[in-house]
Amino acid sequence: DGGITQSPKYLFRKEGQNVTLSCEQNLNHDAMYWYRQDPGQGLRLIYYSQIVNDFQKGDIAEGYSVSREKKESFPLTVTSAQKNPTAFYLCASSPQSGTGELFFGEGSRLTVL
Amino acid sequence: SQKIEQNSEALNIQEGKTATLTCNYTNYSPAYLQWYRQDPGRGPVFLLLIRENEKEKRKERLKVTFDTTLKQSLFHITASQPADSATYLCALGIGGSQGNLIFGKGTKLSVKP
């Protein structure tokens, strides 16, 4: 079945460590996104990519990095520079020619110990 | 300042009644507005999109209205069921370009049998 797969579902990190969250899609979508969700707040855009080997910063990109070497993959690295990384991270994709409808993965919950 | 607000954090209704959720915004000129459903610990799922030149959209028991004068969208679920219990997110599409979706904080709907 087509969809977006995020892994791991749960991740624990010690302060000072970088972690990478995986996002893979087999929907053949051009655009991919990373959002962060915190309790009581709306989804906030971290990074997005409209095409392979190109990506743009969203509203809260500081302390995060991404790559888009393949159309189907858009991994997110949470670096030690991110001061408050504990959150629920959501990856999404959409077809370039669509109406902006997002297809989300099941999310990755990162907890910093 | 630019804001998007969903009228309440939580809404409790009786099974069979119509649930009405509100999304208000200020200082935006959205090209379209989307509604998503999110279950606990899961990624959001797209429900409906309505464009700025459309007044109303329907899909099965769901109805969305969009009033650009009032800067408001209403999301209705008729004949509500306990299975409709979830958090509902509205999202503004700004300028029609990829990556420019502004999400509200969501309204948690509980439908009691």
Q: Is A9 exposed, middle or buried (0-12, 13-18, 19+ CB in 10 A)?
A: exposed
Residues A42-62: tens digit of each pLDDT: 899 999 999 999 999 999 999
Average pLDDT, whole number, for chain B? 92
Tell me the nearest-neighbour CA distance from A67 into chain B, angstroms.
16
Lowest mean pLDDT among A4-8, A92-96, B84-88: A92-96
Residue B18 per-residue DSSP state = P
The pLDDT value recorded for residue A1 is: 66
Percent of chain A with pLDDT over 70: 96
Residue to substitute from B101, B105, B107, B108, interface A, most A β-carbons within 10 A = B101
CA neighbor of B7 nearest in space, from B73, B70, B57, B77: B73
Contact A42 B34 (CB under 8 A): no
- Which residues of A, range 10-49, sit inside 8 Å of B by Cβ? 31, 33, 35, 40-45, 48
Q: Which of A40, A101, A104 sits opposite B49 (nearest CB)?
A: A101
The pLDDT value recorded for residue A2 is: 73
pLDDT at A38 exceeding the cut of 60: yes
Confidence class for position B96, pLDDT limits 50, 70, 90: very low
Stretch A81-95: mean pLDDT: 93
CA gyration radius, chain B: 13
Q: Does B42 touch chain A (CB under 8 A)?
A: yes
* B98 contacts on A by Cβ (under 8 Å): 31, 48, 50, 94, 96, 100
Stretch A20-27: mean pLDDT: 97
**Residue A33 in contact with residue A92, Cβ under 8 Å?**
yes
Stretch A87-110: mean pLDDT: 89
Tell me the nearest-neighbour CA distance from A66 into chain B, angstroms.
15
Average pLDDT, whole number, for chain A? 93
Contact B98 A107 (CB under 8 A): no
Stretch A63-84: mean pLDDT: 95
Report the chain A residue with the minimal C-alpha distance to residue B90: A42
Residues B50-72: tens digit of each pLDDT: 998 999 999 999 999 999 999 99
Element (H, E) at B4: strand B3-6
Tell me the nearest-neighbour CA distance from A16 into chain B, angstroms.
26
Contact B43 A92 (CB under 8 A): yes
Q: Does A85 touch chain B (CB under 8 A)?
A: no
The pLDDT value recorded for residue B99 is: 57
Q: Is B91 exposed, middle or buried (0-12, 13-18, 19+ CB in 10 A)?
A: buried
Q: Which of A35, A50, A100 sits opposite B93 (nearest CB)?
A: A100
